[in-house]
Amino acid sequence: MSVSVSHIAHLNFVLAFELRVGPSAPTVETAVMDRETGVYQNLVKKESWRTVLTLAYQSLGVVYGDLSTSPLYVYKSTFAEDIEHSETNEEIFGALSFIFWTLTLVPLLKYVFIVLRADDNGEGGTFALYSLLCRHARVNSLPNGQLADEELSEYKKDVSSLGPKSSFGSKLKSTLESYRVLQRFLLVLTLIGTCMVIGDGVLTPALSVFSAVSGLELSTAKEHHKYVEVPVACIILIGLFALQHYGTHRVGFLFAPVVLIWLLCISAIGLYNIFHWNPHVYQALSPCYMYTFVKKTQKGGWMSLGGILLCITGSEAMFADLGHFSQLSIKIAFTSLVYPSLILAYMGQAAYLSQHHVLDNDYRIGFYVSVPEKLRWPVLVIAILAAVVGSQAIITGTFSIIKQCSALAVTIGFRDTKRMGNASGLAVITVMLVTTCLMSLVIVLCWQKSVFFAVCFVFFFGTIEALYFSASLIKFLEGAWVPIALAFIFLIVMCVWHYGTLKKYEFDLQNKVSINWLLSLGPSLGIVRVRGIGLIHTELVSGIPAIFSHFVTNLPAFHQVLVFLCIKSVPVPHVRPEERFLVGHIGPRQYRIYRCIVRYGYRDVHKDDMEFEKDLVCSIAEFIRSGSVGINGANEDPYKDDDKMTVVGTCSSHTEGIQMSEDDVIVNIDSPGTSELREIQSPTVIKPKKRVRFVVPESPKIDREAMKELQELMEAREAGIAYILGHSYVKAKQGSSALKKLVINYGYEFLRRNTRVPSYALSVPHASTLEVGMIYHV
């Protein structure tokens, strides 16, 4: 199963944290990155068949690497223990029938024709479904949501102002919004799906590579081949992990050709086996053979479904990686090449096995035994390369030291594909069940379809997936416990972080400082105001954080311009540059205190600190200019805690507004003359230093007070920016339960100490950072 970058990126939307476990690996270049906006521009928007076909070709190496290698281990896992291959061929034909209809109903019907349509502005995956539901019903558990977020272009794009059309949809929406327990259940369900994806990411590289090198068993004795396969698989995995240091962009161009050659190879071998061994094998595609299979094998056949399930491992990647490609390109690649190639491969293996009932060793029921002997070594090489490509897509998406070590330990610990398959199968089907549940809500709340369609969707696909889930779960002690254990660990970590972060935010909200206290200090705040800009990081989107009073009482001086900076995630994949910032005054204008809320989607790329600083200062300058001409009232009531905010874009998004330039050259002040633009410049000094200039449009005119405010902002930017961070220590209150003390005092504190600081401050010089400690009793 493929783990895409979107799954990890989506975690920021709900959890907003990243453990210090290693650098993030670059992704395969399948989309155009606009450095100016930090947004993936989908190539399919260019209405060109050439572009669509190119994307379809590229998707082979990223989306279908895992799914295309499943023929390596499906039959071997199916016939590993629970059923035997008899001369009647009822077992092998029944297994083929199950494989055919499973591939047809789940990847083709469910994902290609239904689930892919539930994209979140071009993005896919479990969290894309969750974010869709958050926008159509107020089920978001994040406490810092604002009405202004609902005005975002991508937020409003597919949200009907009329709400659900059916009465049931309206009742369902109202019920979800009324009961917090349902909202938490929805969040936990989403997290379970994501945790299973990550857990399977540990298993799949081991399963794919180990199955690929299993071809060595045909050239070695049974008592020796395991001693060869495990070391070879480990060496390949170690080499694969070592390549991460160089980035996949250096070898990424090889991914699609490798998978293409592999698909052509297995389809050609399948056709050869069909015509050479059993041309009538197509009859096994009839559902009647499934009934015969179950009737004969009974409990053993039911348990063997855990192996058949592996034929759809990687199907979720079609939806998860949607943001890198397009619906049409993924559909074309699957329906025209991947699906027919897999069907031919499975039919060819079944045709061969139907004529070979007496094998030297039971472990030889697998892929390589059906490959013509002269082609086995070339096919072995191609299979290993295809397995590496399939594993690479997963490692790229969830690249970390923990994941690498886990995958290697799984290979050494399991030592065979049987237990690996049991573990991987349970993770795969759990994710699909979560998708089915979330899709049923999307059908009613987002698509506004009848509840009849949602019930049919859940009943039909849920029944199929529940059957496979039960077959996988029964093998709990035979390897299926691994993804459950991994998912449980990840889920505990996420829940602890989410709970601690929520309690910390609630403490800030309940203890925020009154605006009256700020006004009582006067414009100087009762201390010396020195030149420069102070950025005070806070999670609050309104009000003054309690830690600010701690700053004022403990610091002898403060900056000329203060900015309360909040960086938050919103339930959309991308926020347009022109909607990035929300800026407003805190208190009267002469206080020179601003609030700036920076909004990022769960797929947005955060800019580096220098570019971020420029955009931030420029957005405040544009806010000052727009406020002077009445776009944002300059005479707002200063006693209001929830001050009015103005949407302001980045420098590149408002080319007709204020522009800022910085240089180290002294420029004499010239008169504006007849220029269409006039420049506000700081006074000329004798020695060279950083100079900041605001280029203000000639029209509309701005008042004198706004000009003075811009002058002070410019001087403050020249003096430098200091990041003022509150170093909070969260402790459970006296009298709290033992469980809460364990979660807050130990669990959350451990995670807090091992998490990265906000991305905008990652490369801030230590000389520009000021931290003030404060204890939170939650």
- pLDDT digit string, tens, across residues 373-407: 888 889 988 988 888 787 766 655 444 334 444 44
Partnered with residue 697 across adjacent β-strands are 677
Q: What DSSP character marks residue 672?
A: -
CA distances from 754 to 20, 341, 404, 508, 546 (A): 6, 46, 19, 22, 25
Structure token digits, residue 17: 């944290």
Q: Which residues contact 166 (CB under 8 A, 6 or more apart)?
A: 444, 448, 450, 451
Peptide bond into 700 cis (omega under 30): yes
Peptide bond into 545 cis (omega under 30): no
Pairing of the two strands 677-681 and 691-697 = antiparallel
- Please report where in the chains the tokens 């045909």 appear, as a residue: 218
CB atoms within 10 A of CB 610: 11
Q: How far is CA 499 from the centre of its chain?
A: 20
By C-alpha distance, which of 256, 202, 250, 246 is closest to 63?
Answer: 256
Partnered with residue 557 across adjacent β-strands are 528
267-293: per-residue pLDDT in tens?
Answer: 999 999 999 999 999 999 999 999 999
Burial string for 299-309 (b: 16+ CB within 10 Å, else e) reads eebbbbbbbbb
Q: How far apart are CA 669 and CA 682, in angstroms?
A: 9
Does an H or E element contain 285, and which?
Answer: none
Q: How many helices (H) does the chain have, and how many strands (E)?
A: 28, 12
Strand order in the sheet with 581-585: 646-648, 581-585, 593-601, 557-570, 528-537, 721-731, 769-777
CB atoms within 10 A of CB 12: 19
- Per-residue confidence (pLDDT) for residue 527, from 0 to 100: 76
Q: How far apart are CA 321 and CA 326, in angstroms?
A: 9
- Per-residue confidence (pLDDT) for residue 112, from 0 to 100: 94
**How many Å from the N-terminal Cα to the C-terminal Cα in the chain?**
40
Residue numbers in the chain where pLDDT is lower than 50 = 1-46, 160-162, 248-249, 361-363, 397-408, 412, 629-636, 641-642, 666-678, 682, 684-687, 758-762
Pairing of the two strands 39-41 and 677-681 = unpaired
Structure token digits, residue 547: 């830690």
CB atoms within 10 A of CB 291: 12
CB atoms within 10 A of CB 581: 25
Cβ atoms of 769 and 722 within 8 Å: the answer is yes
Residue 11: how many CA atoms within 13 Å on its side-chain side? 24
By C-alpha distance, which of 714, 715, 663 is closest to 690?
Answer: 663
Q: What DSSP character marks residue 474?
A: T
Q: What DSSP character marks residue 746?
A: I
- Please report where in the chains the tokens 């206290």 appear, as a residue: 517
Q: Which residues contact 680 (CB under 8 A, 6 or more apart)?
A: 693, 694, 696, 707, 710, 711, 714
Structure token digits, residue 637: 């009531």
SS3 151: helix
The string of DSSP letters for 50-97 reads HHHHHHHHHHHHHTSHHHHTGGGTHHHHHTSSS----TT-HHHHHHHH
The string of DSSP letters for 383-409 reads HHHHHHHHHHHHHHHT--HHHHHHHHH
The string of DSSP letters for 605-650 reads PPPPHHHHHHHHHHHHHHHHHHHHTTSS-TT--TT-SS---EEE--
Cβ atoms of 487 and 196 within 8 Å: the answer is yes
Cβ atoms of 601 and 574 within 8 Å: the answer is yes
Q: What DSSP character marks residue 591?
A: G
The string of DSSP letters for 362-384 reads GGG-SSGGGS-GGGHHHHHHHHH
- Per-residue confidence (pLDDT) for residue 609, from 0 to 100: 65
Residue 487: how many CA atoms within 13 Å on its side-chain side? 24
How much is the pTM?
0.77
Structure token digits, residue 253: 């161009």
- Per-residue confidence (pLDDT) for residue 226, from 0 to 100: 60
- Per-residue confidence (pLDDT) for residue 545, from 0 to 100: 83
- Please report where in the chains the tokens 């004499």 appear, as a residue: 668
Q: How far is CA 349 from the centre of its chain?
A: 37
Q: How far apart are CA 200 and CA 315, in angstroms?
A: 13
Structure token digits, residue 421: 């398959």
- Per-residue confidence (pLDDT) for residue 714, from 0 to 100: 86
Cβ atoms of 598 and 619 within 8 Å: the answer is no
CA distances from 205 to 170, 243, 403, 408, 578 (A): 44, 14, 10, 9, 41
SS3 601: strand
By C-alpha distance, which of 449, 462, 366 is closest to 70?
Answer: 366
- Per-residue confidence (pLDDT) for residue 242, from 0 to 100: 65
CB atoms within 10 A of CB 242: 10
Q: How far apart are CA 6 and CA 396, in angstroms?
A: 11
Cβ atoms of 622 and 580 within 8 Å: the answer is no
Q: What DSSP character marks residue 755?
A: B
